[in-house]
Amino acid sequence: MNDIPSSGPDGPEDSMLEQRVAALETRVGRIETKVDRIDAALLRLEPAIRDIAGRLSDLNAKVAGLDGRMAGIEGRLSQIPNVWQTIALLATLLIGLSGIVFTASRFLHP
């Protein structure tokens, strides 16, 4: 007539229920211990993470400063004449110098 098992102390599943509850209590105790360890680890990690974040912002500021300096160096390097420009400049100077020497020799020798 009654399909629901008895939940009293004389019920057929009473010993199984106590074993299951005891096993659950043991496991919950282990879980609480692990959660406490995780919580302690997170509390130790929090200052380290803040320190890393501070160092990262310092590093970003330094990189931004280096970026500006590199742009300045790049601008200076772009103004340096290349090999062909240097050869052309020297050739022009030599031709001009030889012209001056030739003209001076014409005036100095009668």
Name the strand (E) or helix (H) holding 11.
Answer: none
Residue 101: give the domain boundaries.
81-110
Residue 5 covered by a domain: no
Residue 45 covered by a domain: yes
- Residue 35 contacts residue 27 (beta carbons within 8 Å): no
Work out the pLDDT band at 2, boundaries 50, 70, 90. Answer: very low
Residue 2 covered by a domain: no
Residue 88 covered by a domain: yes
pLDDT digits (tens, 9 = 90+) for 72-95: 898 888 888 889 999 999 999 999
- 22 and 74 belong to one structural domain: yes
- 45 and 31 belong to one structural domain: yes
User: Is 98's pLDDT higher than 90?
Assistant: yes
Work out the pLDDT band at 37, boundaries 50, 70, 90. Answer: very high
